[in-house]
């Protein structure tokens, strides 16, 4: 599941403890949380955790995957706060499409009555950076790095945060690993999207901004 999600251009943080999941959700924003329980003995703890996770996750989509769960158990999980619940055997394609559908619905709800869409967007299906009629194809790591920078547009993002987001699970990487990728991105942007800039924030990280 972790590998499949990573190949689908998701930045991931993995934990084997429900309490740690809640702590991570309190420390940084997540678009979604996927909770997997392989042992039915864990179902009560999972259902008890869902309301608290929903309260601190800032509107993140909550998907639960259970092992050999009955319809009653899945219904109880949904009532506890899950946005979707699946039982094994699981189709990753179905689960991923449900996640994408929930994400689209969440974005549509947030944008209702809001100002027009931002001039800079990411197309996750084509893995492209979009600005007006211009599109720039990105590699998987480039996409994740730009996505991390766009979560805080015009705000400096620390090297460590970029590494966690663009290289999930790679704890041995250093700040110097980001520089070559930034250099390649800047070269692409200068050619295809010159109004998009990645600025260096000395001794801290990088900042994505739009020029007039």
* pLDDT value for 115: 46
Nearest-angstrom CA–CA distance, 40 and 16: 16
Residue 198 and residue 189 in contact, taking contact as beta carbons nearer than 8 Å: yes
* pLDDT value for 138: 92
* pLDDT value for 118: 56
> What SS3 string covers 75-96?
HHHHHHCCCEEEEECCCHHHHH
In order of start, what are the domains of the chain with their CATH numbers? 2-111 (3.40.50.2300), 121-210 (1.10.10.10)
- Chunked mean pLDDT (size 10), the chain, 212 residues: 82 86 87 90 90 88 90 90 90 88 73 55 85 88 90 86 82 74 92 90 90 70
């Amino acid at each position: 599941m972790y590998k499949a999600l990573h190949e689908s251009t998701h930045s991931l943080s993995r934990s084997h403890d429900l309490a740690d999941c809640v702590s991570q959700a309190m420390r940084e924003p997540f678009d979604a949380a996927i909770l997997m329980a392989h042992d039915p003995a864990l179902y009560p703890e999972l259902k008890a955790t869902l309301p608290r996770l929903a309260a601190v996750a800032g509107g993140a989509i909550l998907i639960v995957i259970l092992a050999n769960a009955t319809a009653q158990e899945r219904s109880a999980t949904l009532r506890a706060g899950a946005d979707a619940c699946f039982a094994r055997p699981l189709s990753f394609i179905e689960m991923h499409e449900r996640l994408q559908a929930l994400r689209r619905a969440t974005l549509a709800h947030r944008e209702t009555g809001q100002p027009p869409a931002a001039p800079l967007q990411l197309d996750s299906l084509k893995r492209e950076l979009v600005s007006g009629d211009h599109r720039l194809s990105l590699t998987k790591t480039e996409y994740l790095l730009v996505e991390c920078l766009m979560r805080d547009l015009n705000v400096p993002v620390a090297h460590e945060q970029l590494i966690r987001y663009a290289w999930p699970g790679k704890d041995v990487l250093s700040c110097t690993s980001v520089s070559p990728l930034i250099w390649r991105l800047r070269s692409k942007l200068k050619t295809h999207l010159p109004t998009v800039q990645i600025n260096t924030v000395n001794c801290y990280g990088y900042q994505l901004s739009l020029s007039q």
